[in-house]
Amino acid sequence: MAGEDGRQHRYARLAAELADRIRDGRLPEGSPLPSEAELGAEYGMSRGSVRNAMRLLRGWGLVRVDKGRGAFVRRPRRRVRRHATERYRQEKQLVRRPEYERRLSGAVEMDTGLPHGQVQHRIEFDEVDAPPRLAHVFGIAPGTKLLRRRYHESDVSDGHPIRTGYSYLVHDVVAVNPDLLNAGKEPWPGGTMHQLSTIGIEVDRIVDEVTARPPMPEEAEVLGIDEGVSVLCLRKISIDTAGQVVEVSEIVMPGDRTELVYTTELPRWDATS
């Protein structure tokens, strides 16, 4: 796998060489790499080529770089496992529970898979005209007023951002309950599904669309990742019992510390129900 590829570019070979050193422990976790200048001298390459190698290593998640300090072997990131399937079902069940109970098992914590109280939350509300891509999903006219809620969530223990994104609701639909337009009411005990229940909406199913891409510069900054790392994009579409799309969330998560988990139960062959 990491053989002697004679016909490779120098920077790719250097990256592979360093990756091997890291994987077999010759460069242990947390230890500093030689500086770019040193590597250049050691391997007889210009700094530009060394930097190309470093770009690969950072993308692979093997190396972290602190500006002004140096490059370090990254300890494998603890991934936040987001058990989407179970989490959605729990959130719906929770809607029917009393408020003190909803308060205890915050929807946000379920969402991220982190222990209770471990998630720091930030929300901003505003209103936007539905762009075509959203109007199409909601089945409404482009330009219809939407309530847009921007979320930032981060892990309290290390301050690392976990996800950021937008949740969209049709403004005039949720305006029936003015509390839903009030950012001061967030985080709402029981989450969005409970919010929707206050205006008589029961969510019937949730469709998650998952894609991946490199981060836009702004996302890289907000999520605290660098250019070379991927992001997981989740578009979560909630559909009510009438088949109407009631919420669309567009969520961006750092690819190097996120894992989305979906469970599909399969009907038994011998089951009669």
Nearest distance from C-beta of residue 180 to a copy of itself, angstroms: 20
Stretch that binds a copy of itself, among 28-36, 131-139, 147-155, 200-208 (CB under 8 A): 200-208
252 binds a copy of itself (CB under 8 A): no
CA-angle at 151, arms to 149 and 157, nearest 5°:
160
Q: How many CA atoms lie within 13 A of 266 on its CB side?
A: 3
> Which of 208, 222, 226, 244 is in the footprint of a copy of itself by CB under 8 A?
208
CB atoms within 10 A of CB 247: 25
| Cβ 160 vs Cβ 257: under 8 Å | yes
Write the interaction track for DNA spanning residues 54-93; mark x where CB under 7 A is met and - where it is not.
x----------xxxxxxx----------------------
Q: What is the dihedral of CA 217, 221, 227, 230, to 10 degrees?
A: -100
119, two tokens: 């998630």
Residue 71 binds which one of DNA, a copy of itself, none, with CB within 5 to 8 A depending on kind?
A: DNA
CA-angle at 28, arms to 26 and 34, nearest 5°:
75
Residue identified by tokens 């989450």 is 191
Residues that bind a copy of itself (CB under 8 A): 12, 48, 56, 59-61, 79, 81, 84-85, 88-89, 92-93, 95-96, 202-214, 216-217, 227-232, 241, 255-256, 258-269, 273
Residues that bind DNA (CB under 7 A): 9-12, 33, 35-38, 44-49, 51-52, 54, 65-71, 226
